[in-house]
Amino acid sequence: MLKVGLVVTAVVAVVAVAVTNGVSTVISGTTPTEGGGAFGIRNVGCNAAIGPWEGGGAEKGRHDASRLNEEQRGTVAKIISIGQERKLPPLAWQIAIQAGMTESGLRSLDYGDRDSLGIFQMRPSMGWGTPEQVMDPIYAINKFYDVLEAVPNWQERRPGDSAQAVERSAFPDRYHNWEAMAAFLIGELGDVVDPAGCGQAAGQFLLASSVAAGAIEFTKQQLGEPYQWGGNGPDQWDCSGILVKAFASVGVKIPRVANDQYMSGGAHLPVREAKAGDLIFWATNPANPVSVHHVAMYLGNDEYIHAPQTGDVVKISKINWDYHELMPLAVRPGV
């Protein structure tokens, strides 16, 4: 779906994106940046599905996690297992781990400030449950997730901020201290590849992020559904609408329309370096992002999945890398 009516005062032929603390910043030009390739793509700290991942985060996370005892790691395993059972994204597990580590050191304590008890130091007097309930790890974890899911826009916040929204602590910033450790643990115990969501390095460029598999699976489930301009599902789609829902299914928000997805839907990389889960685009004038009129999800092996046009259905097609309307950059959502 194409968004029209935008005025572009300058068009940059080559765009590169540096990702810092989970925010994509567009920089123009073709001069290589430190640690990057010819297009200036830098393999720096970033976030996708689970929150900011600052420089040195992986090493700090591994170190902090190595100091946990068997009880603490058992609590983490319960948090992840229950999150998986509830079909919550890894971001939710991370928030719960950060909250539990901050409040109790991931232990089910039978004491605390005033009447606070358990992993998350829930207070029975404040309606969290009976003392017996909040001391029960399974109850406490489910209760935490219940409250988290009611927090507005929790999937768009930094994990520690969402933890604070649930806990309402007098010391809100302390939840951030365990961000790196929580990310490491959901990678190690939750079997989440690349918990930072940045993808692994391949030369100077990035492989598909850890959210790609889920987004691909969602999109493939729609194969054969009819195209409908403006279609948002569940059984009719347009080219950009299906991708919005695909990435939302793994906790990543992208813009609704194709040209916005190209300009601000994630990190840019050369289209010929696209990996499975990246977005590829076509435009009437590839030098002008406003003219983008179609978007698809690349699957690898020169194939992509898309909702083509009226009278057609969601299907898999072969890409023509030399087609004159193909945009020079692909987009990696969530980075």
Q: Are residues 174 and 243 in the same domain?
A: no
Q: Is residue 8 part of a domain?
A: no
Q: Is residue 245 part of a domain?
A: yes
Distance of CA 311 to the CA centre of its chain: 33
User: What secondary structure letter does DSSP report for 119?
Assistant: T
Q: What is the pLDDT of residue 143?
A: 98
Helix (H, G, I), strand (E, B) or coil at 44: coil
| Angstrom distances, CA of residue 330 to CA of 10, 148, 174 | 20, 34, 37
Q: Are residues 310 and 329 in the same domain?
A: yes
Any idea which residue has 């700090």 for tokens? 60
Q: Are residues 273 and 326 in the same domain?
A: yes
User: Are the CB atoms for 200 and 45 separated by under 8 Å?
Assistant: no
Q: What is the pLDDT of residue 60?
A: 79
Q: Is residue 166 part of a domain?
A: yes
Which mean pLDDT values do the consecutive 10-residue runs of the chain (335 residues) have? 37 32 28 29 36 52 92 96 92 94 97 96 97 98 98 87 94 89 86 56 41 87 94 93 94 93 91 91 95 94 93 95 96 84
- As for how many domains the chain has, the answer is 2
Helix (H, G, I), strand (E, B) or coil at 36: strand
Out of 130, 158, 188, pick the residue that ends a domain. 188
Q: What is the pLDDT of residue 212?
A: 83
93's tokens = 């597990």
Q: Are residues 223 and 315 in the same domain?
A: yes
Q: Are residues 212 and 180 in the same domain?
A: no
Q: Are residues 114 and 238 in the same domain?
A: no
User: What secondary structure letter does DSSP report for 147?
Assistant: H
Q: Is residue 223 part of a domain?
A: yes
Q: Which DSSP string corresponds to 218-282?
A: HHHTTTTPBB-TT-BSSS-B-TTHHHHHHHHTTT----SSHHHHHHHSEEEEEGGG--TT-EEEE
CATH of the domain at 222: 3.90.1720.10
Q: What is the pLDDT of residue 156?
A: 77
Q: Are residues 169 and 211 in the same domain?
A: no
Out of 155, 188, 221, pick the residue that ends a domain. 188
Q: Is residue 47 part of a domain?
A: no
Print the domain residue range for 104. Answer: 58-188
Q: Are residues 211 and 327 in the same domain?
A: yes
Please state the pTM of the whole predicted model.
Answer: 0.49
Q: What are the respective helix, strand and coil percentages of the chain, to the nearest 5?
A: 35, 15, 45
Q: Is residue 51 part of a domain?
A: no
